[in-house]
Every structure is written in C-alpha cells, then in structure tokens.
Amino acid sequence: MTDPSDATRSEYPKHLRRRLTLCALLLLIGFGGFAALAGLKKAPAEAVNGERPLKVTTMHVQAEAVQIAVTGHGQVRPLNQVQIAAEVAGQVVAVHPRLNVGETIAKGELLFEIDARNYDIALTQTQAEVAQWQSTLKRIEKQTAIDTERLKTLLRNRELAAAEYGRIRDLFDRHSVGTRSGVDRGEQALNAAIDQYDQMALAVSLNPLRIKEAESSLSASRARLNQARINLQRCRVQAPFDGRLKAVNVDQGQYVAPGQGLLTLADDTVLEIHVPLDSRDVRQWIQFTESAPQPSGAWFNGLKPVACAIRWTEAPQDLGWEGSLHRVVDFNPKTRTITVAVRVSGAAAVRSGRLPLVEGMFCEVRIPGLVLPRAFRIPRQAVGFRGTLYTVVDQRLKTVAVEVAREEGDDALIVGGLNEGDVVITTRLVDPLEGALIEAVAADAPHGEADAL
C-alpha cells in the first residue's frame, strides 16, 4: 500500500519546476522588451568641447587731420549799455511816446524833457552879466588911454610949476623982489602940481590891474553863461545811440534830481559772450599769433580772431550764429579758468524767419583751435581709464596702450599707440581675458555677450 506522504513529496518538485519555469519566462520577456525599447532610442550626439568666442563690435581706424574745438558756455550781453540820469533838477514835462521797456529808440530822439523855465531865466541873467563886464572892461581900457594922455599934461604942469617956484624964490632970496607970501604961493602951486601928477600916475599904474580884474570877472561870467546854456540843453535828454530800453524809471510830472538814474539803454548792434575756458585748454589749443606786437604790460596778446559757432542751449539743433573771438577778459585763479570774449554783430545775430540772438540767451560757443595733423577718432567708451584700449589681431584680443590727445563729446582723439587699419573693439569691456577669441558683430545686432567680462 502506497504511503500518502510519498505522493505529496513526488508532486512538490513538479510544482516548483513550473514556478521556476514561469519566472524564467517572465524574465526573458522583460529582457526582450527592454532590448527592443533600447533599440528604438537614438544615441545622443557626442559633445565637442571648444573655445567660445567673445562677440563685440569693432571698427577699422584711419588717421585724419583734426582741428580741435574748445567748447564753453556763456550768456549774451550787449557790448555797450548806459544808464541815463538827470543832469539837472526839475519836473519832467514831457516823455517819449514809446518810453517802454523793450522799445527801440533811434539816436537823437527825445527821451524826456525837464522844465526849463528856471534855466532860461538863469541864462538871461548870465548874458546880462557878461554884457555888463564887457562894458566895464571897455570903460576901463578907454579910461586908461585918457589917463595916460592926462599924465603927460600933468607932468608938464609939474615942470612949469617947479620952474615958476624956482624963479620966484630966486628973485626973493637974491634980489629981495617979491614977498614971502608970493614964494609960499609958488611952493603951494608946485606941491599941488606934484600931487596931481602922483595921483594920476598911481591911477595909470593901477589900470592894468583893473583891466585884469575885469577880464577875470568877464571870463567867470562867460563860464557861468556856458554853464547856463549847458543846463538849458540838459533839460532835453536825447538817445545817444540807437538802443533798446532796458529799464524805465521816469514818468511825466515826476521831479528828478541830478545823478538820479532814470533809464537804461542797451546797444544791440554789437553783442558779446564771455566764455570761461579751462586754462589748460587755452594753453594747449587756443590759437595766438606770434607776429602780434608785444604789449608793454603783462597780459594776453595776439589772440587770433577765429570764427566761432554759437548755439542756443535751448535749441542747439535749430538755432545757430557765427561770432568772432575778440580778446581775453579775465583769469580766475580760484577756478583756473580764462574768460574770453566772443563778439557778434547785430546783423549776424538776426536770422530771417528765426529767433535772433538776444541778450540773456545762454549759449554754447565752439572755438576752433589748433590742428592735430594725424589723429584717430574712436568712441570714447573704447578707451579705458588706464589709457588702454582693445584691438583684434588674428581674431584674438590684444590690449594696447594709447596716447589720448583730447576727448570731444563721445569721441576720443588718439595720437599714439595705433596704426592705420588697426581693428579696435568699440564695445565696452571690463577686464577681458588677454588673447580671447573675438567674433565681430554688426553694431546694431544683438550680441548677447558683448558686455561680458
């Protein structure tokens, strides 16, 4: 009889074999599916490690002759400006019908008039005084001529009286002819003749002094007459030149005193702009003529009168004029600036159909200076603060030390360190790697890494 436990032991290996077979089959299926999926996937492209170029904008430089221009700013002012004051006291009886600020008054036109009645009376009085002293002088001169002739007569009378007295005395003393009273009367007649002669001689000797006194008084009267005429003329105040009224402080009926400022008149036929410039710019670039005569004093001499471009700062693109460099006005030791004067004629200040150049405008003045015979003009941003810039040599970055002669606006003028045809990097770079690979791009194209370190 078969034991049941033996049957169970015989079936157990078969069951285990079936499980193992199933697991193996599943593994084979899994490996086969993985292999099939792996066969569908493409292999990734092999990465190539290479140098990355730095994208920048560049330019080929060419040397050129550059005239340096020194730029400054200043305010327009009239060359001549006068304050008109009353020279005599009185009441204003008339004023110009257009006596308003901003009006232009022609030369010789009446600005205002002061009451002249008192000055007219004073003129009449001094005229009478002059006439009186003229008559006095003529009378003294005529009296001098008469006294001179009379002195001759009195001299003869004195001689006759002396002779008669000598004869009477001689007769009385020697011959006892006559009387003592007769002798006395003769002596008295002689004394009277001598006294008359002496008085007349004194009068004749004093007449030249009287004439001089009369002439001095006449001169003083004539001076007062001239002053009276001048005061009468000063009652009418006229425009000394064609000018613009800048200030008006007078009205009809107003009482004015001598020296009181009443009007300010500006002459706009010649304008000036005082432009302060850096003294170093003046020393290096402003043109002076060596042939100018040397001054006796220590001051700037021989400033070349070059044509200057003037632009109003409110509209620099639209409004421009031309002036001329005239002179050095001032040296300021505190700011180390030299102020020059630029003149503009009234005709040049007026442009048809546009605003004229007028007093008060703040303008930019461009003054042509010396010429650099050979310079390279590049963007200022391309030059580092150490005086270096970056060039491209065989597509590699190279640092070059340069000599900057001047910076003008957004440009820098290079006079040393560059050669014709050099390729200069115009993109602003900060501490790039020396010898880095360079790729030039268009100036207006996006270059992503153009500002990279």
Q: Report, as an integer, the average pLDDT of 231-235.
A: 95
Whether the per-residue pLDDT at 267 is higher than 80: the answer is: yes
247 in Cβ contact with 265 (< 8 Å): no
The predicted-structure confidence for 114-173, as pLDDT tens digits, reads as follows: 999 999 999 999 999 999 999 999 998 998 898 888 888 888 888 888 888 788 888 877
Residue 13: enclosing H or E segment and its boundaries?
A: helix 4-40
Calpha distance 258→85 (Å, rounded): 7
Q: What is the per-residue pLDDT for 18?
A: 73
310 in Cβ contact with 292 (< 8 Å): no
DSSP state of 303: B
Whether the per-residue pLDDT at 451 is higher than 70: the answer is: no
pTM: 0.69
DSSP string computed for 399-424: EEE-EEEEEETTEEEEEES--TT-EE
**Residue 210 burial (C-beta neighbours within 10 Å; 0-12, 13-18, 19+):** middle
Calpha distance 405→421 (Å, rounded): 19
* Tokens coding 273: 């702009």
Q: What is the per-residue pLDDT for 47?
A: 52
The predicted-structure confidence for 374-404, as pLDDT tens digits, reads as follows: 999 999 999 988 889 999 999 999 999 999 9
Calpha distance 138→211 (Å, rounded): 9
**Residue 259 burial (C-beta neighbours within 10 Å; 0-12, 13-18, 19+):** exposed
Whether the per-residue pLDDT at 6 is higher than 70: the answer is: no
Q: Report, as an integer, the average pLDDT of 297-316.
A: 90
Mean predicted lDDT score pLDDT of the chain:
87
273 in Cβ contact with 75 (< 8 Å): yes
DSSP state of 358: -
Q: Report, as an integer, the average pLDDT of 299-323.
A: 90
Calpha distance 171→183 (Å, rounded): 9
Going from the C-alpha of 438 to that of each of 253, 378, 382, the distances in angstroms are: 86, 19, 15
Residues 11/15/20/22 CA torsion (nearest 10 deg): 140
Q: Report, as an integer, the average pLDDT of 68-77.
A: 95
Q: What is the per-residue pLDDT for 352?
A: 59
Q: Report, as an integer, the average pLDDT of 207-223.
A: 92
